[in-house]
Structures are given as structure tokens and as C-alpha cells.
Structure 1
Amino acid sequence: MTAAVKHDGDDPPPRRTKVSSKNQVTLPVAALAAARVKSGDILQVEVEGDGVLRLTRYRDPRLDLLEEFIGSAPGISAAANLEELRDEWER
């Protein structure tokens, strides 16, 4: 996480957030870092009870199979960055 933790005397303490009128929340950087959740991760929301939500990182089992295949196929590397390859084609 490269973002700095913002905390002002009037703000709620870290690891607390407020639900907006659009039902959105901002997750505190300290909590994300502690859970090792980063930008781009997909989170699954589970309701555990009244006022209790649980967020867990979601992994698509199909992606796990694909990563396994990539590791076993000759000439295909998991380190291949498709975005870089697409950028090369546009040059």
C-alpha cells in the first residue's frame, strides 16, 4: 500500500468508516494493509448477523486452473504481461 494513512482530530479513528447515502464505504488503509488486501482484489460480502458483514478476498477457481495450466505449458509464462504486449502492438 503506498497511500498514506490520513487521520485528523475530527475524523473517526482508523478502522472505522461510515456508510454514505449511496451505500458506499471507504475501507481504512491500515485495515487493508493488515489484511493484505490491495487495489484490484475482488471481495466477497457475507452477512453474518445483524450489523455484521464479512469481507473475504474472492478467488475464481477457473483462474486457479488457468494459472496451473500456464505453469505446465511450454513457452507460456505466468510472468507474461498482456498489457505490455498490447502496448507493443500499438507502437
Structure 2
Amino acid sequence: MATSSRKRVNGQTRVSDKNQVTLAVQALRDAGIAPGDELRVEASGPGTIVLTRVPSEAELDLAVVEATAGALDGVYAPGYLDELRRNDRGPDW
């Protein structure tokens, strides 16, 4: 059994016979990528591959809420929606 005398360099990896690579844990942590995250893989030029974390459904939903929250400020007079609720649900609401 031959052993490689080539020293491993921190932050480098090798493509396996199955075209797989192992990514450095610190690089994953620095990028905010965790086990189970989905990644988009794109070639951005010769010798360069870019991995981008794909947002989860929950993150996408939250982004929509944050983008639209407050979009209707000023459309209704102050107290108008509370009045509608009282009319709909009764005076004890």
C-alpha cells in the first residue's frame, strides 16, 4: 500500500474518482453553511466553481413578510381596523 508523501495544504481539497470533494469545516462555518443546507453549484469560469447556499422555504417566506410589512401604512385611518373587528366580532372583543 503506497502512502502519499505530499503534504496536505490547509484549505485545499482533491477531486475524488467519483468527482466528489470534501470542503474545509472552517470555510463552511465562515460562509454560514451547515449540514443539511442545499447549495447551488455554478462554474464561473475555467478552474472556478462557486457554491451558494439556497435559502430554505422558511427564509423565503420571512423575506416576503419583511419586504411587505408596513406597505399599507397610512391607507386606513387610525383605529379603523379595530372598529371593523369590533363590528365583526362583537363589542366584547
State the TM-score, normalizing by the size of structure 1.
Answer: 0.54
Aligned to 2:35: 39
The ranges of structure 1 where at least 4 consecutive aligned residues each deviate by more than 6 angstroms after the TM superposition are 66-69
Confirm or deny: 8 A CA contact 1:47 1:54 kept in the other structure: yes
* Residue 25 to residue 65, structure 1, CA distance change in 2 (3 Å): same
Tell me the matched-pair count: 60
Name which one, 1 or 2, has greater alpha-carbon Rg.
2
Aligned to 1:78: none
Aligned to 1:4: none
Aligned to 1:22: 18
Alignment root-mean-square deviation, CA: 2.5
Matched, 1:52 2:52: no
Structure 2 Cα separation of the partners of residues 13 and 66 of structure 1 = 40
Per chain length, whose mean CA-contact separation is higher, i.e. which structure has more relative contact order (CA < 8 Å, sep 6+)? 1
Q: Which runs of 5+ in 1 are unaligned?
A: 1-9, 70-91
Structure 2 Cα separation of the partners of residues 29 and 66 of structure 1 = 28
Q: Which runs of 5+ in 2 are unaligned?
A: 1-5, 66-93
